């Protein structure tokens, strides 16, 4: 397993990040423990979660994924410093007016909840889940800077920020001498490129930010499980239908061919390799809900595309400005 610096920081993270949105949703606690243990055994030291995971699921109040991770850490007795824990804040966690957003009030309350559920005394990477148009960026960065100074948070990052808001945040931090975002978690994969590549990629490159793409397999589309006449039911089928078009079916055929040439690599492994072959990418977030899916994802460890192979996939999945 290759380990990389998280952006400009000295924090070293594995080339794959274990996402946990499925914990307590499509993976029960037992399965989640098995996935966490196998991932750590394989060399994955980077775990990503969020306080709201998975509040949208029936009977899930939020905080369940963090709680599962905390229980696993306690039962596994893995030394805290061996694991890099990233979590996120922004979503609604209660019924009160200050139970969501990026205000000082909500962040101070939310970080204590995350620390308690995770069973740790610091968070390695604390990320704003998406921007908050109702809170001044100075307020958000000010409280995050306080948490870094207090030692409750090591580094801060963000997710789902447009380029202008990300740039505003970086410059606000610089002008006011505050901790700045050191990473971005964008929605980015072979069939969803424009959102990141249009502007965000250049911002991340210019400011030496770590890039941790979520949904690298496009909600399962880039696993090859779907086809023009094969569309099995799944928890994410509704969100995947947007990728059902002739252009993307041809892309899957090309990837399947590349996989055969590389000794039987799967389409999902090729999709992860496409990201891992880009020097701008730090660590794509995988989200297996079973050991079988995790093992398939691990097959992409160390897998890289040649410049010619990457260029062909770039061309086959190209987007128009």
Q: What is the pLDDT along the chain (321 residues), one digit of tens a residue?
A: 999 999 999 999 999 999 999 999 999 999 999 999 999 999 999 999 999 999 999 889 999 999 999 999 999 999 999 999 999 999 999 999 999 999 999 999 999 999 999 999 999 999 999 999 999 999 999 999 999 999 999 999 999 999 999 999 999 999 999 999 999 999 999 999 999 999 999 999 999 999 999 999 999 999 998 888 666 566 556 678 899 999 999 999 999 999 999 999 999 999 999 999 999 999 999 999 999 999 999 999 999 999 999 999 999 998 877
Give 163-192 pLDDT, tens digit per residue: 999 999 999 999 999 999 999 999 999 999
Between CA 242 and CA 240 the distance in angstroms is: 5
| Catalytic residue chosen out of the listed positions 3, 53, 155, 188 | 53
Q: Measured at the alpha carbon of residue 123, what is the angle toward residues 118 and 128, in degrees to the nearest 5?
A: 105
Between CA 279 and CA 274 the distance in angstroms is: 11
Between CA 61 and CA 128 the distance in angstroms is: 20
The CATH number for 3-224+278-303, chosen from 3.30.565.10, 3.90.1150.10, 3.20.20.100, 3.40.190.10, is 3.20.20.100
Whether 207 is a known active-site residue: answer: no
Buried b (16+ CB within 10 A) or exposed e, 270-294: bbbbbbbbbeebbbbbbbbbeeebb
Between CA 129 and CA 187 the distance in angstroms is: 12
Report the Cα–Cα distance between both ends of the chain, in Å, rounded. Answer: 36
Output the pLDDT for position 232.
56
| Strand partners for 127 | 88, 157
Output the pLDDT for position 166.
98
The CA-based diameter of the chain, rounded to the nearest angstrom, is 56
CA 91 from chain center: how many Å?
16
Output the pLDDT for position 234.
60
SS3 for 183? Answer: strand
SS3 breakdown of the chain: % helix, strand, coil, rounded to 5?
45, 15, 40
Between CA 266 and CA 264 the distance in angstroms is: 6
Q: Decide: pTM greater than 0.75.
A: yes
State the pairing for strand pair 12-14/3-5.
Answer: antiparallel
Output the pLDDT for position 228.
83
């Amino acid at each position: 397993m290759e380990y990389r610096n998280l952006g400009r920081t000295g924090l070293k993270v594995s080339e794959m990040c274990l996402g946990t949105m499925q914990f307590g949703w499509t993976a029960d606690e037992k399965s989640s423990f098995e996935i966490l243990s196998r991932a750590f055994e394989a060399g994955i030291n980077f775990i990503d979660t969020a306080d709201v995971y998975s509040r949208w699921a029936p009977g899930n109040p939020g905080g369940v994924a963090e709680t599962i991770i905390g229980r696993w850490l306690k039962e596994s007795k893995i030394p805290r410093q061996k694991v890099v824990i990233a979590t996120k804040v922004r979503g609604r966690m209660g019924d009160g007016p200050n139970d969501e957003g990026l205000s000082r009030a909500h962040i101070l309350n939310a970080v204590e909840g995350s620390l308690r559920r995770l069973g740790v005394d610091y968070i390695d990477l604390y990320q704003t889940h998406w921007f908050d148009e109702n809170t001044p960026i100075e307020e958000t960065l000010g409280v995050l800077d306080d948490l870094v100074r207090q030692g409750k948070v090591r580094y801060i990052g963000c997710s789902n920020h447009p380029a202008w808001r990300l740039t505003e945040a970086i410059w606000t931090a610089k002008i006011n001498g505050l901790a700045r975002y050191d990473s971005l978690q964008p929605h980015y994969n072979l069939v969803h490129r424009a959102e990141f590549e249009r502007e965000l990629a250049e911002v991340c490159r210019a400011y030496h930010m770590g890039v941790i793409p979520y949904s690298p397999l496009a909600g399962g589309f880039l696993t090859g499980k779907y086809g023009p006449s094969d569309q099995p039911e799944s928890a994410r089928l509704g969100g995947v239908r947007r990728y059902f078009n002739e252009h993307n079916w041809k892309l899957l055929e090309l990837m399947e061919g590349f996989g055969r040439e590389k000794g039987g690599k799967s389409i999902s492994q090729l999709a992860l390799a496409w990201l891992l072959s880009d020097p701008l990418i730090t660590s794509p977030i995988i989200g297996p809900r079973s050991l079988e899916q995790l093992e398939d994802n691990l097959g992409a460890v160390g897998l890289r595309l040649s410049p010619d192979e990457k260029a062909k996939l770039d061309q086959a999945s190209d987007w128009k400005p």
